[in-house]
Structure 1
Amino acid sequence: MLVLKNVDVFYGRVHAVRRVSLHVNQGEIVALIGGNGAGKTTLLTTISGLLRARGGSLGFEGRDITRERPERIVSAGISQVPERRLVFKPMTVADNLLLGAYHRYSLKNKTLISKDVDQIYEMFPVLGQRRDQPAGNLSGGEQQMLAIGRALMAKPRMLLLDEPGMGLAPALSQMIFRHVAELRDVFGLTVLLVEQNAKSALKIADRGYVLETGRIILQGPSEELLLNRDVQRAYLGRDVGDES
């Protein structure tokens, strides 16, 4: 579904992503893990078209999107939930959701979009209860739900999730990860998940890639990565000799 081949991305003179190749099959959750500064967010932003790859190619469902504009990529079926949520805080919850459907809006689609909003409220009931409140009044977990709902309003086939558990209490973070699993299991969405909490990400993912200083250094099924001692030591908070 998504294929990256030898992708290079620069921030000015900084070579942030180095010849990265990866793929995501339809219906998968694929985790991209790594430490701060590894290039994870840069890679998602490049897939979304907000940054341009200096080299390599990006393909989505057989279509070359390497040079596509961000709005064309959204229309093609890819939506991103950005790091730190970035909801429009002065606007109401309902208006934030409607913004997610901006490229679909027309009088003809107005009824359909209204039904889609109701589906988001069914998925996240707290958003329905607070639909008329400013998004800035929501808790961090509720803002994350809103950011996911806003992305879903674009009717994507692939969702790019950037650090959905960032800054959340453990219980709220686990609830968000359960919702991410539901997006695949119930709604059939394909998900590329960037997350520093490697254990939570790999538990719900089918496969994973480990990114370090802009390069893919490991990849494989999630079960194998969870048992990999290098991954355990670097990303799961365990030393090699810790079998607990």
Structure 2
Amino acid sequence: MPEKKILITGASRGLGLAISNALSKEYTLILHATRKESFTNVDPKHHLLCADLSDPTQLNEFCKRLKKEHGDTLYGVINNAGITFDKSLIYQPENEIDKLLQVNLKAPIMICKAVMKQFLLNKRGVIINVSSCVGETGNAFQAVYSATKAGLAALSKSLAREVSALSEEHAIRILSIAPGFIETEMTDTVPEKFRQEYLKAIPANRFGNVNEVADVVAFLLSDKASYINGTNININGGIL
């Protein structure tokens, strides 16, 4: 059976690290972070491919290296890397807006573009774009962030249809997941007042943890999920 390599962006911490741990035994991983120094004790069977995705030049070089070094054996892509600047759009500087769009939306688009041709040649592959519940619900002080996450869900649905139009027989799936309030370093900075407000909207009466999301990703990559395609999977405790 051909080697299966999985690219995980933003793999050095939080959700990306949990996904890496969940997939480490079954797949060969291509681990991304902005800097190599973010990783410690990496299994020698895995690969590091680092770049600052907010820099268009580095993003372009990252995509070129991904195709050149791993294209033939690349099976899956987890577009997980993301950033947020939480403030009212009225006061959001343009450079923050540009960075949010670049990292959260353009980088996944360009990575999808880089791997799609090879996936079509191989007639197999899975892309999972990490969206967010706020891509559907919206959220005050996260207007641009929410827009980028909504964009990832739309990107996934559109590309799934595009693959179908380009190839009659294939095993390529493109979808997105939308975590809710998951305990990570990013959510640790949310003031307690707002944490309690979020909690009231979650029927599960608790916040999620990264391993619960990672387990869903592992399932979606597997053959057991072979008929799940072109959709957005909510992992949010039933958030309203």
Normalized per residue, the structure richer in helix is 2
Answer whether TM exceeds 0.5 for this pair.
Answer: no
After TM superposition, the score normalised by the length of structure 1 is 0.34
Normalized per residue, the structure richer in strand is 1
After TM superposition, the score normalised by the length of structure 2 is 0.34
